[in-house]
Structure formats: structure tokens, C-alpha cells
Structure 1
Amino acid sequence: MNTTTAPGKRNLIKNKRCCCICVWITSAILGLGLLFLILGLTVFKAKRPVTKINSVGLSDLDVSLDLARLRVVLNVTLDIGVSVENPNRVGFRYTNSTAYLRYRGNDVGEVPIGAGRIGARDTRALNLTLTVMADRLLSNSDLYTDALSGTLPFQTYIRMEGKVKILFSIHVVTYTTCDLEIDVLNRTISNQKCRYRTKL
């Protein structure tokens, strides 16, 4: 009795084995893909980093009126305490940014914020000093009126841009704006109101 397997039958068995192996590999890849997708949408879902202004202090204020020329010479320096919270389970890398000091919609002071990284579920504190560039205020017609009224309206604006990398990089931009008034006579900050926004 001849027990030798026919060539056609051997090829059929070989093809079945190849099909089984392909099915197993495909199933494993799909399973891993589904697992990563579930983790990406739940545990590792990208969350928005939040930038907050914790404190604003007036470290220097010098106001002098030139009544003859109806001009104001103004020097203002603000110390700002900022915190950036990263609620993600992975690090947040941010690029070079800038904090601005604005007077009635015009940029009158700025300070750079160097690029960096905030670890998973970590918070970084930034201490910034914003100084008014006096030459940018000379042509502003509202300054004289505001100085005489005793109240100077300013706004701080910080925009930070970066990436959160989970399964792929997610672009994130955070915005922080604080409206505040400087009481010239009392040399204090009043009516401070801050707003925060993050965009994925």
C-alpha cells in the first residue's frame, strides 16, 4: 500500500497552513490596533493643557505729566506668575512663545518664553516680568486722559503652542488673557479679570 502523499494534496495542506497563519497574523494586528484605539480614546485620550495666571504684581510704577505738551511719561513693570498644567499621561512640548502687555489693544511690552517640556500630569510655574516700552505709548492719545482719571487699563496676553504625542502628535494652543486696571494714586492693581482658552 502506497502511503506517499500526492503532490497536489501536499500543496493543499501547505496552502491551508499559510491561510491559517495569515488569519492569525491579521487577527493579531487588528486586535492590537483595536487595543491602541481604545486606549487612545480612553486612558490616553489627549487632554487640553491649561495656562493660568496665578498672580499679577505691580513692581514699578512711575507716572509724570507734561502739562505743557499734554504728554505722559509712563514706566510700568508687572511681575506675573503663570502656571501651565499638563493633565495628559504623556509629556507636553511647547515651542518658543511670547507674553504681551497691551494698552487699549496695542502691544506696549513683551517678554519671550523659551521652549520646554512639561512631564505627564505635571505643572510648570513661570515667573515673567513685563515692562512697558515707553516709546510705544507716546503717540497714544488716550494715555493722557487715562492718567488724569487715575486709572490705566492694561491687558496681559499669553499664547503657548505645542504638541502632545500619544499614538500621533496632537497640536495644542493655549490662550490666557487678563484685563486689569492700575490705580495710579494707590499704586495698586484693581478689577483683574482673566480668561483661559485651549484649542486642540
Structure 2
Amino acid sequence: MDVETQPLAYKKERKLTRKRRKRYICLCLIAFILGLGLLCLILGLTVFKPKRPTTTVDSITLSDVDFSVNLLPLRVSINLTLDTGVTVRNPNRVSFKYSNSTCYLRFKGNDVGEVPLPAGSIGARDTRGLNLTLSLMADRLLSNSEFYSDVVSGTLPLQTYLRISGKVRILFSFHVVTYSNCDLIIDLGSQRIVNQSCHYRSKL
């Protein structure tokens, strides 16, 4: 190779080397991004996999009970309040944010009492206790014809129902809902709860 062609070949070699270096850097960058994305996906499906919050009814007690009945003419007066203790557990590694909810008191499918539950959030792997006071709306109950047959039997079947809806954000936002309902039988003579059965479920 003569003196004139040597610098030209050297420049071509350097240019080719730079192209290879850039290609190598690009491939390394792509591999890093893909590896990071794969790591996030694995963590999202294992360690940070969204879990369903759970609601548990810890206690239901009767308070401020006032019940009386006259047979001739038939006249019923009733007022009662249920103090309900509820625990909501968030098993996720991020906070659970829930929207405004309502806890209902029901008589054979009809709402006869309610209490609002303001929106809030529960921290990662944390639990929150809620004290809810459900007051019976007597006018709704007394207008139900089935109520009077229960009065004659001496028992009053009621149900509490709570639905809490919210979101858990782990890479993406996941909508979660937790439910709790308790079937109660109140003995009107002794004015106490004689039977209680609670059921829970949640969905993601």
C-alpha cells in the first residue's frame, strides 16, 4: 500500500469501528431496557401481584332499643341502633384507595337504615378499623306488611350490607371490591341478637 492510500484506509477502518461501537451500545441499551421491563413484569406478577382487600365484621351490638306493641288496635313502635365494628385489611405492598361507600341495614331485601362511609385509603399491608352506627328508619320498616307477621312471631330478621370499592396501583391501576353482609335475628322480647351469620367475599 502506498503512502497516499494508507490514510484513506485508516479513516475507513476508524469509521467502521465507530459504527460497530455505536451498534454495540445500542444493543446493550436495548438489552438493558428489555431486562428492566422483564424484571418489572416478574415483580408485578409475583412480589407486587395485586391482592384482594378483605372486610371482616368484628362485632355487632344492639343499643338504644325501644320496642312496644299494642294488639287492640294493632300498633307497633320500634327504634333500634346497631353498633358495628368492621376491619378492612389491605394485603398489598401499596396503598388501597377506596371511594365513598354506604353501609346498609336491610329487612328482607329492603333498605331500612344506612350510614355513609367517606372515601379514604389504607396503607401498604395495613388494616383499618371502622365503627359504624346503623339506625333503623322505623317509617320504612312499619310500611312493610311482612314486618307485622314477624312481630307476631317475636323475632325480627335484619341484614347488614357493606360494599367497599377502590383501586390498587401496581404498574397499572387494578379495581378491587370487597363485600360483607351479616344476617341477624333479633329477639324482640329479650331485645337481643340471638343469631348472627356473616359472609365475606372480594373480587379483583
What is the TM-score normalised by the length of structure 2? 0.92
1:41 to 2:38 alignment: no
Q: Deviations over 1:27-74 (max 9, x none)?
A: 001110111111111111111100110000001222222434534222
1:167 to 2:176 alignment: no
- Percent identical among aligned pairs is 62
CA distance in 1, matches of 2:76, 2:12: 100
Among residues 166, 177, 192, which one is paired with 2:196 in the alignment? 192
1:87 to 2:97 alignment: no
In structure 1, stretches of 5+ residues that fail to align are none
CA distance in 2, matches of 1:69, 1:31: 81
What is the TM-score normalised by the length of structure 1? 0.94
How many residues align? The count is 200
| SS of structure 2 residue aligned to 1:4 | helix
CA distance in 1, matches of 2:96, 2:26: 39
Match of 2:60 in 1: 56
CA distance in 2, matches of 1:24, 1:141: 76
Does the Cα contact within 8 Å between 1:98 and 1:113 map onto a contact in 2?
yes
Match of 2:117 in 1: 113
CA distance in 2, matches of 1:163, 1:57: 31
For the pair shown, the structure with the greater C-alpha radius of gyration is 2
Match of 1:100 in 2: 104
CA distance in 1, matches of 2:34, 2:19: 22
1:139 Cα shift?
1.8
Alignment map for 1:152-163 (pairs within 5 Å):
152-163=156-167
| SS of structure 1 residue aligned to 2:31 | helix
Match of 1:137 in 2: 141
Q: CA RMSD in A?
A: 1.6
In structure 2, stretches of 5+ residues that fail to align are none
CA distance in 1, matches of 2:121, 2:179: 17
Amino acid of the structure 2 residue aligned with 1:13: T
Match of 2:7 in 1: 4
1:18 Cα shift?
2.2
Q: Deviations over 1:71-94 (max 9, x none)?
A: 422212000000000111111111
